[in-house]
Structure 1
C-alpha cells in the first residue's frame, strides 16, 4: 500500500517484475497449447463478451427470460451452481429488473455493482449475486471494467488472483 486517497483509504500499489511477468506469460502460453493454443481461448472470451453484450446490454436484454439466462449461466460457474436455488423460490422478473438496472448508465460502475449486490440477501445463499454482477459488467465492457468476481479480487484485503 502507498499514498493515501483520503485519511481512511489506502491506494494499492502493484510492483511488477519484468522477468516474473515474462515467465508467467510463457507458462500461460505453454499451458494453453494442449487446448489448441491461445487463439482458441481468446476466441472463446470474445464469444462470451459478444453473447453477454447482446443479452445483458444490447437489444435482446429486455427479452431475457429464465431459460436464456440459465443458458448464459453456463459461462459463469460460480453463478450457475447456486442461482437455481434462488430462482426456485423467487421470481426471475426481480432478477431481470436488477440486471437491467445494473447495465443502465448514469451512475458509476461501482454504485451500480453495489446496488445490484444489495438487492439480494447478504448470506451464503446469494454470494452468486456478486459474481453475476462482476461477470456481466466485465464481459459486456471488458476494456472498461475489470473482472471483480470473488475468486478474482477481494476488495477487503486488496488482493486477488
Structure 2
C-alpha cells in the first residue's frame, strides 16, 4: 500500500486549528473525551452491562452526538433488555468485529443508517479504545463521500466496502495511519493517546464546515455558528450540556 496520509495537509489543518484555539484547550477536550471513555468502560463492562439501568441507557444515548436528540424514541423501539443483549453481542461476541458491527447496525435498521453506525462505533471505541476505533458520519459519510478522513488521506485510499462491517475495517485502517503520523503532522502536541487523534479529526471537520459555510452562507448565519472548541465537543459527545444527563441518571437509578 502506498502513502495513506497526506501529512502536509494534516499539518495545515492542525496549524489552522491552533490559530483558532490554544493547544491547552484542545488538550482539555482530550481529557473530557477520556472521561467519557471511562464512563463507557464502567457502564458497558462485561460484568456491569447485564445490569445497565434505564437511567444509564438514557445517559449513554445522550452522550452520543448522533443519538442525543432521539434518545427517548430509541428507547421506545429498543427497550433496555434488548439493548443490553445487542450491546453484549457487539462488544463481547465471538464473531469478527466487522460481523458484529454489521449485525448491530442491521438490528437498529429503524434508525437512519448513519445513526446506527455512529452508535455502534461509539460503543466499541469508548469501551475499548485500544482495540476499536470511531466511525462517525463527520469522519466519513459513504453517501456524500465527505468527512474529516478523506481531507487528510490521499485520494488513492479507498473507503468503500461491501457492507457496513467492511467499511468499518477500512476506517480503522485509515485512522491507524493518521494516528501513526501524528507526531510528524504536529497534532500529537494535543495528546499522544488515540483521543488526541479523535480531537484532531473533529478539528479537521469543524474547519472544513467553517470553510464551506463562509462560501455558501450569510455573515449573519456564520456568526451564530459555535466556536471550534464547542463544535468539537459537540461532535465528540462531551458538550458541557451533558452535565444535566448526570442529574437525570441519578434520579432514574
TM-score (norm 1): 0.75
2:97 maps to 1:109:
yes
Once residues 134 and 60 of structure 2 are traced to their aligned partners in structure 1, the CA distance between those partners, rounded to angstroms, is 17
CA shift at 1:98, angstroms? Answer: 0.3
Query: In structure 2, what is the equivalent of residue 131 of structure 1?
Result: 118
Q: Deviations over 1:54-76 (max 9, x none)?
A: 11235322221221111122321
Once residues 100 and 78 of structure 2 are traced to their aligned partners in structure 1, the CA distance between those partners, rounded to angstroms, is 21
Query: In structure 1, what is the equivalent of residue 75 of structure 2?
Result: 87
Aligned length: 148
TM-score (norm 2): 0.51
Whether the 8 Å contact between 1:53 and 1:139 is mirrored in structure 2 is yes
For the aligned residues, what is the CA RMSD? Answer: 2.7
Q: Answer 1 or 2: which has greater helix percent.
A: 2
Q: Could you tell me which of 40, 44, 49 is aligned with 1:56?
A: 44
2:141 maps to 1:154:
yes
- Larger relative contact order (C-alpha < 8 A, sep ≥ 6)? 2
Once residues 123 and 147 of structure 1 are traced to their aligned partners in structure 2, the CA distance between those partners, rounded to angstroms, is 19
CA shift at 1:160, angstroms? Answer: 3.1
Q: Deviations over 1:49-107 (max 9, x none)?
A: 11111112353222212211111223212112223213234422111210111111422
Segments of structure 2 that go 5 or more residues without pairing to the other structure are 149-253
Once residues 59 and 146 of structure 1 are traced to their aligned partners in structure 2, the CA distance between those partners, rounded to angstroms, is 22
2:37 maps to 1:29:
no
Once residues 29 and 68 of structure 1 are traced to their aligned partners in structure 2, the CA distance between those partners, rounded to angstroms, is 36
Segments of structure 1 that go 5 or more residues without pairing to the other structure are 4-11
